[in-house]
Structure 1
Amino acid sequence: MDGSGSPPAQPVRGEMAERIRAHDWASTPLGAAETWTSSLRATVSLLLGCGFPMIALWGRDLIQIYNDGFRDLMGLKHLAGLGQPTRECWPEILHITGPIYERVWEGETFTFEDALYPLTRSGRLEDAWFTLTYSPLRDETSAITGILVTLVETTARVLADRALRESEARFRAELERQVQERTAELQASRDLLKATMDSSMDMIQVFKAVRDASGEIVDFQWLLNNHTSESRYGEVCGQSLLERNPGVVQEGIFDTFKRVTETGQPATAERRYVHEQFDGWFFQCAVKLGDGVATTTKEISAWKAAQDEVLRLRDAMAQTALRESEDRFRTLASLIPVLLWRSDVSEEHNAFNEAWLTYTGQTLQQSQIHGWLDALHPDDREAAYEAFGAGRAARRLIEVQQRIRRHDGQYRWFLVREAPIIDAEGQVTQWIGAAMDIHDLHDLQERQSVLVAELQHRTRNLLGVVRSIAHQTMVQTGPTERFREQFSDRLAALSRVQGLLSRSDQEPITLRTLIQTELDALGGGEFADRIHLGGPPVRLRKASVQTLALAVHELATNARKYGALTTDHGRLSVTWRADGSARDGGRLLVEWIEEGISRPRDPQNPMRRGYGRELIEQAMPYALNAKTRYELGETRLLCAIELPLGERSGEMSTA
């Protein structure tokens, strides 16, 4: 918009263009339209000219400005929504969007496909699905000033797809749909790994080995590439490493990848690379991943240039007056964004740049003699003292990785080097050192290893359980409609378990949560007055959750279909207690008691004679070292499960 509050010389037509021109912006945090910045005006022109639904959330108040396409998605919220803070307009989804907005303000971009949002745009809460992107908006100085949301509503397609899947009668199609849903959960884990990779400013790549007929590695192929790497390479997934970057052979990178893949031993290297897209210094770490490698590469050209300059000054300082060299060192130290220091041969007098003093919070006096060791992590001090002592005695370059304490008490990893300054007579006159922050690289490698291990573990476990469920159900029912129903129910129970496992790092899984989740899924809320749960807090570890959850699912299903919850006078009681502790070999006793049941039973009842009972009486003792007891009377059912506490057997502990 121009100074009069009107759009640019060639205004975009449409209802929202007119409403934006006529809106009283002076009453909003954005201020009168004639005071808007050029970046805000450009953003408004962009979204008004776009055929896709778009909304700009400007400023920290996230003031809404949207186009005609987005207007059609707002429903009854449209008239009040223009110029309104988005948190006031959409409070029902703030628990979803709030964390996303915070990360976008940090510079991240997010894209979601068929994301579920519960909205009240028609006066009542309803589910809606969207494919959308959240990205930061920046002003002329590249500072983030808002958030741009571009989206397409996919509710109709999602519901149509759901209806189509539900109407599919053939068993094979149904089974494929169920497996695809489980595969999507594995894909979500892969996407989480990809998102973690993309959040790094370093280059992260994953390669798969290409082998000849004899099994010899002859090439590598790109599997994954994060955003930072794509900015240099472009889109290379599926391409040959040797065809795209033949220089890796003479640089020794190809041989390194082969060695890591074949031995499993990680490798780190610092090298100058002058081939294809690169011309600079890089610090690279490669670890084995499947039949290939995952690499993290950090460009250190600036750091190496600073190091080279420091070494150049070493010679200059030996040839000039002490005061002149002192001034030159201080000037350089104040310009280079790394921790620098200089010390004499006695190690009693040290000079540190401002970056060191600011980072550690030490005064110059506190850093003298060996006072700088106080800034190192206690576990690293002895090794650092020995490394520096040995290096100085041998008059050689010193290189170590160690943790240095920040002024707020946090420790971060640094790559530290110290080199001697030798005069014309071959005597060491001083030592100059530098430390580069590589903490993010350390953290990223650790998170990458954890995510890869978790993904591989869950994949193996999940596929094994799915195969077991399909086999056991088929043995009891054959390829019938009953098989489809029971298999779907058991797969749904497994899906709920995966949901609990996916949140276990933030929300530990307890025995009560597991039981309540299964009862709720089967409509347990309808019988709340006839169900009793009681027992102390017991945390379950991941290895025991799937087997225990399937057992609870079978018990709950049969209580709902054949047991205590099928009669008006039936009662269900689930209690548990811990005898002893994990440390002294204690055990956990769970008792499932149904009273008021009515016999005779259906001879085809799978819980009484089929998969569920086999799971409890055979699988649980084998998998969890459990003791089980199953007693079915005329009006009462008792199922007792005794599990050991502790990590070596029961995989659970009292909270």
Structure 2
Amino acid sequence: MSDPFRFLPSGGVTGAEIRARDWSDTSLGAPEAWSPFLKATLAQMLSCPTAMFLAWGPDLLCFYNDAYRPILGYRLDTALGRPFRVVWASIWDEIGPLVDATLAGESTTVTDMPLDLSRDGRPERGWWSFSYSPAIDEAGGVAGLFCVTAETTARVLGEAALRESEDHFRHTVELNPQVPWTCDPAGNITSFSNRWLTLTGQRPHETYGSGWIKAVHPEDVPSTVTAFTACLASGDPVDVDYRLRMAATGDYRWMRARAQPRRNATGAIVSWYGVVEDIHDRKLAERDLRELNAHLERRVEEVLAQRKLWADVFEVTDALVCALGPDYRLLAVNRAYADEFEAIYGVRPRVGDDLIGLLSHVPGQQAQARTVWTRALSGEAFTLVDEFGDPDRKRPCYELTFTPLQDADGERIGAFQYATDVTQRLRDLEQLAKAEEALRQAQKMEAVGQLTGGVAHDFNNLLTIIRSSMDLLRKPDLPEERRRRYMDAVSDTVDRAAKLTSQLLAFARRQSLMPEAFDVGARIAATADMLATVTGARIRVVVEVPSTTACHVFADPSQFETALINMAVNARDAMDGEGTLTLRLECRRGLPEIRGHAGTSGPFVAVSVTDQGVGIDPANLPHIFEPFFTTKEVGKGTGLGLSQVIGFAKQSGGDVDVASRPGRGTTFTLYLPQVEAPATDAPDEPKAVLDGRALRILVVEDNLDVGQFCTQILEELGHTTVWAKNGEEALAEVERDMDRFDAVFSDVVMPGMGGVALARRLRALVPDLPIILTSGYSDVLAREGTNGFDLVRKPYSAAQVAEAFRAVPGRLRIPAS
């Protein structure tokens, strides 16, 4: 019987499996019917050592050689004679398009295709190269496909590892702050890292050969080329410093280039390997170190010279200088100290002597010296002025300064004394103090004389009017019209006298103010019309007040208006009655430094009055606020207007500043502390006018004439009065019967208990008892205010007294007489 597989080569595992398999149940049928082309291809494939497979027939049944068997893995047992698509179903998405192209007649070659063959049943990374070729039958048609394949996984992974290694090396080189480079034996640069290009800004082709030298500082090129050439010739290592231009900044930085030769087996140099490193900071540090060393050498010379100078000064100075150790022994002493010590104690000190022991013959002086030096040796630094010396010799006065004496480690090793004889200086100072006191007393007397002279002058004028009017009023046949005129003159003169005393008290800051919180802007606007009347028709009054912001101060509104009027009158006179007067208000200002007084951040309200007048002579500026100082003609001013302004400002916690240039006008600025707007209270019920109601009033007045006059006024007004001559007597009257009086009218300044103290005691005893105070001046009122009590200022008129008691309700309901 003939062998149907005689076309197969002998041997081989796959050939044996082909013979053993029953092919009759496949689409190929029995091997006797196989195509000669199939048999020839199988014979050739099985003889080839390269991995191959053949897919034949309409089902593309799978054949392969022994070299292909490992590729099949777990599929090996079932792959032979099975459809190719079934065998490689797991990778058909990848190879299916290649199969289709091959069956269409195209030959395809694929290199390093990644395929997961999962040969042992687990996923695996693998790469394959193969070529697909159409398998042709005897009719010339495509009967299948033929593939030659090889696994390239090892090569692909090796190349990837090589690339990774090269990339790692490249990054390592590029990140290295040094610049690696190579050159040939002739010194031509053959390679370098990109860092060189980054530093210098050169393009890659510029650096090769000798082009790198163009980036070197021109002054360093000759020395660098000389050193490099010498090393190339001798084979010695290269080590040269030069400055390299930095592309980023245009500056030059110091670099160090080093290189070693690489030799072949015969010892000949085949190339050079080197690096360039940045040594700029080190160069600068070396330069600074050299400069520091030079500086230290100079300092040593200076210190030595200074020591010699101090040694010379120590000996030639007139000051008394010495140093003591903790045991009171002299560590150092200059000639002046030794001479003076000998002069006042009779013994000459030397280095090493016990200073306290040298004074054993004068026990009192020994104790004094021990006390002072013990304090100094404890580490205290101090200065004292005292007398030292044996009273039987001489006892000058010295100014002694003691400081701790320390060694180089800061440890205290004693004390140092520097002393000078100040006996004559103290005598001179005493004489100077006496002279200054005499001068101050003379200036005080001059100021008092000026003030009293001014007051006497003005009061004499006022008294002249009063006395003349009173003499004329005594005439029995005086017409009524003239009588009224003289009476009015007396009344007006009294008002002027009261205003004069008020201005004097304001300047002295002793005016009894009645402060309240008010809107400055509203008050200025209300005063503007009155100012226009005061200044005259030819002066235009301009008011600049913030329209949206209210500024409040806590001050006496009457005194505020008076200050405005005084500044406005001053401005009117400076402009000779013609020009523009500007009132300006600014809120939340700081208080500047004024006349040497420190300023503060505030807040303050600033009210300025600006004129276009002749200005103030700089020589007069320091005196303009003095009472009775005036530059106006006789009869045109008292010199008290600005005194009132500054007194009011100071007493209210503010100040007044002035800015003036001759011929350019003047600005006075009144500063007052700004306060928050007062809370809006419910409107008070209007008090009933109680004209015609008789009251029982306790009058407290120590002045007999004023007391009699006051009680007469009150009785003329229909009230009943009881007069107490002092506070203690008044208190006793009230305590006798607390419902006895409807009101109290008390002077403030009295011997013993003052009016304010009395009012406080009465308020505690009878809380609903109305109390009205009266005073022409009170230090208590100037310092503390009225303490909430109503005040009638002296001199007062009968009308003012009547007005003060008009709204007082009767507690006892005494009918009017």
- TM-score, normalisation: structure 1: 0.26
Q: Which has the higher contact order (CA 8 A, sep 6+)?
A: 1
- TM-score, normalisation: structure 2: 0.21
